């Protein structure tokens, strides 16, 4: 038995001995051309891998500088001790494939490395700033789409614009540097978050933030900076000790930052890159004029059912997605939800087969090797419920169609906010509005009507026009009563 702790650390000098775990033995160290904000597991298993493949296919200086935004010096130090190297552990039903990735050249941690970050962002060689910071990282007012001026971190950045802490603050400060440079060449800002129309949403936040500081700068950003939208898809769970063990056995080096993922991946990108881009299209990414149809399909079919699985599972006692979907009534529910309630709301290009997409999703969920924890997917529900479920319900209402399964998912989220499963097991709620939502849920004293009334009053989640719709309220109350009386498993069985 190999112990990872006793092995030498993964570094670039080891690469000649790792040929079978590299995408190609051919490699020329690139200059840094991309700064990525939010250097988490998803980016390292998705965009960074695509970028390395693109450089191998067509060259280019697209090395990545990754940035942690939460002061995570541990992640920075671990990756830099490995000179940016890390392993991607692709777990499928037939085993694990380990790939050592080389595209990451530098890691910085804010606010500790602020000077280094802004020096990097001022470098004309950096032509793309990408980000995976989750919905809450945008500091966006959900009602207006503008920057949330009541956010304390935003207020700090407006008062101290040269010491920013937020994503909008960092981007505006960096774009100000580019604007003030005589050459005036902006970088492209590439959102890779699960947010509807993510490029347009980020553009609005950034411009509204800049307008608070300097209207002329805001006008320049609006006129000259590209914010292409994207759709990204790959299931990337949190790293566990199992990944360290798998990597140690495969490469016989210690990796402090391995990343697990599924075999499937997808990336659809609006092709608007005035300063250039890697040849992502040469390695499987789809470059399109409009990402909206693909984005909606993923948001509603995958993300919507993922959230449904997560909240019903947290109540019903399933720890992982594969365990949940292996329960036949749950699989039947998710299959019917996608087929009968979600797919009819989508308009896809003729080449896109929604039934095949549905079946592929069910197969991915059932991957026994991935162990994607439901508690991870259940995070930040107040940010996820509106685009993943409520928008689909609104589309069904507009079409005069039923939404029984979709509304059960919303009801499960409401019940989840009580902080305990059907059997009494307690869990933590991770959400930007956690304390407020939990207090409202507890104050209802397990009364479905009181729970519904309390949570429907949260305007950050539920728009007034939807909560005023009688059929929505009636269906939601029925679902809450069903969950209260039968529990999650009983409710799922009742909808077969």
Question: What is the per-residue pLDDT for 2?
Answer: 67
**What would the mean pLDDT of 446-473 be, rounded to a whole number?**
96
Write out pLDDT tens, residues 358-388: 999 999 999 998 889 999 999 999 999 999 9
At 360, is the secondary structure helix, strand, or coil? Answer: helix
Write out pLDDT tens, residues 223-268: 999 999 999 999 998 899 999 999 999 999 999 999 999 999 999 9
Tokens read off for 400: 């005069």
Fold agreement between 4-288 and 292-494:
no
Those residues whose C-beta lies under 8 Å from the C-beta of residue 396, and which sit 6 or more positions away, are: 341, 345, 402, 403, 406
Q: Domain limits of the chain?
A: 4-288, 292-494
**What would the mean pLDDT of 345-362 be, rounded to a whole number?**
94
**Rounded Cα gap, residues 193 and 195, in angstroms:** 6
**What would the mean pLDDT of 154-169 be, rounded to a whole number?**
97
CATH: 3.20.20.60, 3.40.50.720, 1.25.40.10, 3.40.50.300. Which one for 4-288? 3.40.50.720
**Rounded Cα gap, residues 463 and 386, in angstroms:** 9
User: Residue 77 pLDDT more than 60?
Assistant: yes
**What would the mean pLDDT of 77-97 be, rounded to a whole number?**
95
**Rounded Cα gap, residues 210 and 168, in angstroms:** 8
The domain defined by 292-494 carries CATH number 1.10.1040.10:
yes
Question: What is the per-residue pLDDT for 496?
Answer: 83
Tokens read off for 179: 């604007």
**What would the mean pLDDT of 137-152 be, rounded to a whole number?**
94
Q: Is 297 exposed, middle or buried (0-12, 13-18, 19+ CB in 10 A)?
A: buried
* Mode of pairing for the β-strands spanning 128-131 and 188-191: parallel
Read off φ and ψ for residue 471, nearest 5 degrees: -65, -35
Asked if 218 and 210 touch (Cβ cutoff 8 Å), the reply is: yes
**What would the mean pLDDT of 176-190 be, rounded to a whole number?**
90
* Mode of pairing for the β-strands spanning 95-101 and 286-288: unpaired
Question: What is the per-residue pLDDT for 71?
Answer: 84
**Rounded Cα gap, residues 276 and 16, in angstroms:** 31
**What would the mean pLDDT of 164-193 be, rounded to a whole number?**
94
Those residues whose C-beta lies under 8 Å from the C-beta of residue 21, and which sit 6 or more positions away, are: 87, 98, 99, 100, 250, 251
Q: Which of the four pLDDT bands, split at 50, 70 and 90, describes residue 270?
A: very high
Say how many residues make up the chain: 496
**What would the mean pLDDT of 58-65 be, rounded to a whole number?**
98
**pTM for the whole structure:** 0.85
Q: Return mean pLDDT, the chain.
A: 95
Question: What is the per-residue pLDDT for 360?
Answer: 95
* Mode of pairing for the β-strands spanning 266-270 and 230-233: antiparallel
**Rounded Cα gap, residues 51 and 102, in angstroms:** 10
Of 93, 89, 106, nearest to 21 by C-alpha is 89
Question: What is the per-residue pLDDT for 1?
Answer: 57
Alpha carbon of 474 to those of 137, 239, 394, 452: distances in Å? 34, 41, 15, 10
Question: What is the per-residue pLDDT for 196?
Answer: 83
**Rounded Cα gap, residues 464 and 34, in angstroms:** 41
Those residues whose C-beta lies under 8 Å from the C-beta of residue 130, and which sit 6 or more positions away, are: 34, 35, 36, 37, 43, 47, 189, 190, 191, 192
Write out pLDDT tens, residues 194-231: 888 999 999 999 999 999 999 999 999 999 999 999 99
In eight-state DSSP terms, residue 10 is: P
């Amino acid at each position: 038995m190999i112990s990872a702790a006793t092995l030498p650390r993964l570094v670039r000098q080891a690469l000649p001995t790792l040929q079978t775990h590299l995408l190609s033995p051919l490699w020329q160290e690139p200059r840094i051309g991309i700064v990525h904000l939010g250097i988490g597991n998803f980016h390292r298993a998705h965009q960074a891998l695509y970028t390395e493949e693109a450089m191998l296919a067509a060259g280019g200086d697209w090395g990545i500088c990754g940035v942690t935004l939460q002061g995570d010096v541990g992640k920075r130090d671990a990756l830099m001790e490995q000179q940016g190297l890390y392993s991607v552990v692709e777990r499928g039903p037939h085993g694990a494939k380990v790939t050592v990735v080389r595209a990451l050249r530098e890691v910085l941690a804010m606010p500790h490395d602020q000077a280094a970050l802004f020096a990097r962002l001022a470098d004309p060689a950096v032509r793309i700033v990408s980000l995976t910071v989750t919905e809450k990282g945008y500091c966006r007012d959900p009602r207006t789409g503008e920057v949330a001026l009541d956010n304390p971190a935003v207020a700090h950045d407006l008062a101290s614009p040269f010491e920013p802490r937020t994503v909008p603050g960092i981007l505006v400060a960096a774009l100000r540097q580019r604007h003030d440079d005589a050459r005036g060449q902006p970088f492209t800002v590439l959102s890779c978050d699960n947010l509807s129309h993510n490029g347009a949403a980020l553009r609005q936040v950034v411009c509204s933030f800049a307008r608070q500081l300097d209207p002329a700068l805001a006008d320049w950003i609006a006129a000259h900076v590209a914010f292409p939208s994207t759709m990204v898809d790959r299931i990337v769970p949190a790293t566990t000790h199992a990944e360290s063990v798998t990597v140690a056995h495969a490469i016989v080096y210690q990796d402090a930052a391995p990343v697990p993922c599924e075999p499937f991946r997808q990336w659809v990108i609006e092709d608007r890159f005035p300063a250039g881009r890697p040849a992502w299209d040469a390695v499987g990414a789809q470059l399109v004029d409009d990402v909206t149809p693909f984005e909606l399909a993923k948001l509603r079919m995958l993300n919507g059912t993922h959230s449904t699985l997560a909240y019903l599972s947290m109540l019903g006692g399933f720890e992982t997605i594969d365990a949940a979907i292996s329960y036949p009534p749950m699989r039947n529910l998710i299959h019917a939800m996608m087929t009968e309630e979600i797919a009819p709301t989508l308009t896809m290009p003729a080449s896109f087969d929604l039934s095949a997409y549905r079946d592929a999703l069910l197969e991915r969920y059932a991957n026994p090797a991935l162990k994607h924890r439901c508690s991870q997917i259940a995070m930040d529900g107040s940010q996820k419920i509106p685009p993943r479920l409520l928008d689909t319900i609104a589309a069904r209402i507009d079409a005069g169609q039923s939404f029984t399964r979709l509304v059960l998912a919303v009801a499960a989220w409401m019940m989840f906010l009580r902080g305990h499963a059907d059997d009494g097991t307690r869990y933590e709620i991770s959400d930007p509005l956690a304390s407020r939502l939990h207090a409202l849920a507890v104050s209802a004293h397990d009364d479905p009507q009181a729970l519904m009334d309390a949570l429907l009053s949260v305007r950050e989640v539920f728009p007034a026009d939807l909560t005023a719709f009688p059929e929505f309220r009636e269906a939601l109350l029925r679902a809450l009563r069903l969950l209260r009386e039968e529990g999650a498993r009983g409710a799922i069985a009742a909808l077969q």
